Amino acid sequence: MTGISLHGIVADIKSTQEPVLSVKIQDVTGEVWARLHFARSWSLGRLGLGHTIYISGLTWSVGTRKSLIILPCHSFYFDNLELRWFENDVGASFINISCLPVLLNSSCLHKLSCLSDLSAEPTCTHVCRVWPDQIEHCHVTTRLSHTSCGYLLDDDSSEDLKCNFCQRKCNAKLARNFHLKITLADESGKLFAWCTGQSAMELLQITPDEFCELPEEEQLMYPSSLEHETFKVAW
């Protein structure tokens, strides 16, 4: 059967062999693995654990066990279900909702949540209004990332760099990226979070290249500029 679409949270990612990658997709009804087959190499941009995705054009096959379960959303799930996605198939699309520049929130879409709601409903998308807390413990660093997939390199000292995520050599496709560790709070509590990419730039209100041009003393003091700021963030 073809034409299956899924909307859920990325719970795990395994890069087995190029250009195939396996992603575990989770929602309130359960979880399933999908094997992504690319024409050449990874081409979907940044993808990480916890990201909310929408994927269409999936095909499925069932192994020897055929235990049928009807989910609350009236879909069908098999114990031994295998999902596959081919980049060039008609109707195949992959959207990383977490990396969209904006996310609508309203009473009928994504209403504002509190940080305390995250633990109660971990597989849902939450939009929270937060502010930085314990600024003195905020940690800001910059690291090189592979521009094709946004993955931060573990070691950028080698002359022959290879991305551990998409398994591609990336010497000529590198960009500097933030790795931000920060405590965020609202009226219901606080949590320690880390982020990279556009999310980190929005919080810090500066680009990684501009940050690196600052004197070291200003880099250390820069997080203090976030005091008394409030942000809307999606989880």
pLDDT band at 211 (very low <50, low <70, confident <90, very high): very high
- Give whole-number Cα distances, 204 to 107, 109, 180, 231, in Å: 29, 28, 9, 11
pLDDT at 215: 92
Selected residue with higher pLDDT from 95 and 18: 95
pTM, full prediction: 0.68
The closest of 10, 34, 8, 9 to 20, measured between CA atoms, is: 34
pLDDT at 210: 93
pLDDT at 123: 63
Residue with tokens 């198939």: 89
Portion of the chain with pLDDT greater than 70, in percent: 80
Q: In this model, does residue 232 exceed pLDDT 60?
A: yes
C-alpha–C-alpha distance, residues 178 and 143, integer Å: 6
C-alpha–C-alpha distance, residues 186 and 192, integer Å: 12
Contact 130, 184 (CB under 8 A): yes
Q: Which amino acid is at 63?
A: G
For 173, what's the count of Cα atoms within 13 Å in the CB-facing half-sphere? 13
Average pLDDT over every residue of 150-165: 72
Q: In this model, does residue 148 exceed pLDDT 90?
A: no
Q: What counts of helices (H) and strands (E) characterise the chain?
A: 4, 14
Contact 143, 153 (CB under 8 A): yes
C-alpha–C-alpha distance, residues 35 and 40, integer Å: 15
